Amino acid sequence: QVFLREQIAQPVLEEFSVVYQPIVDLGSGVVRGVEALLRWQHPELGAVSPADFIPMSEYGGSIRVLGWHVMTEACTQLGRWRRELPDHRLAVGINVSIRQLDEPRFAERVLALVAAHGIEPDQIVLELTEQALAVDFETAVTVVADLRAGGVSVAVDDYGTGYSSLRYLHRFAADVVKIDRSFVAQLEGSAHTEKIVRSVVHMAEGLDLQSIAEGIETVAQLELLRDLGCELGQGFLFSRPVPPGEITALLRDGH
């Protein structure tokens, strides 16, 4: 743990890569977007899970460097997909930690990066967790307003695991709600979970938010979510997070 903490304090960017998990239209099966997820291949430790190193890098401060690495990679890749797959207009979800939001001129820098890569701001969906939003709500409100004014979309990630305050949805006017995978995992056989998910989907609809269900692993979950009116989803049933070339191949095959 100590070794890991030392290593993540000064990240060697070449050891990090970004994989992408498809986000699928639950009605048609068409891929509408992807979520970018960071991976770390350490020369001695091997693959280190982001569940371990992200919290450490948030604590130590290197999340800012890593965050810009992911953001730059994802924008570069979107530019490539735009040239390689002109018929598809993918959106990319990028996870953003609260420690990134309070960087000076964060929104401005994101918009500059988008412009530099010749992609549209509405192809970027920044994913913020409820927990992150709770840390410094006023900063988050300001930065989210600047991002959305520039055309970048914002998602509330892991919805339902934090305070689930309507205040977030009210003051952010977010664009997307991502229903946490713990709810999806309990859907089958629980009428209660089903009611909760149905309520979230209806609330999202009423607020003109897209809903994305996370962690779909079975056909039964897919069918339930589709029947509840959930528009989009992601999970191992469709695909694990994969390198960008596999996304290109998948889309070329007509998905």
| Identified binder of ligand G from the candidate list 15, 50, 113, 203, rule CB under 6 A | 50
59 and 29 in contact (C-beta within 8 Å)? Answer: no
Q: Which of 8, 11, 21, 75 binds ligand G (CB under 6 A)?
A: 21
Q: Using CA atoms, how far apart are residues 91 and 124, in angstroms rounded to an integer? A: 6
Q: How far is the CB of 23 from ligand G (least distance, A)?
A: 10
* Smallest distance from ligand G to CB 84, Å: 23
Query: In a 3-state reduction of DSSP, which class is residue 249?
Result: helix
Q: Of these, 7, 62, 77, 95, which contacts ligand G (CB under 6 A)?
A: 95
Minimum Å gap between C-beta 9 and ligand G is: 16
State in angstroms the smallest separation of the CB of 154 from ligand G: 14
Q: Does residue 157 belong to the site contacting Na ion (CB under 5 A)?
A: yes
Instruction: Write down the residue that tokens 């420690």 correspond to.
Output: 99
Looking at beta carbons only, is 79 or 215 nearer to ligand G? Answer: 215
Question: Whose structure tokens read 């999806």?
Answer: 184
> Which residue in 95, 153, 210, 221 binds Mn ion (CB under 5 A)?
95
Q: Are 193 and 187 in contact (CB under 8 A)?
A: yes
Distance in angstroms (rounded) separating the CA atoms of residues 182 and 184: 6
Near Mn ion in 128-187, by CB under 5 A: 157
- Cα distances from 120 to residues 21, 82, 85, 148, 159, in angstroms, run 20, 10, 15, 13, 26
Chain contacts with Mn ion (rule: CB under 5 A): 95, 127, 157
Chain contacts with Na ion (rule: CB under 5 A): 157-158, 214
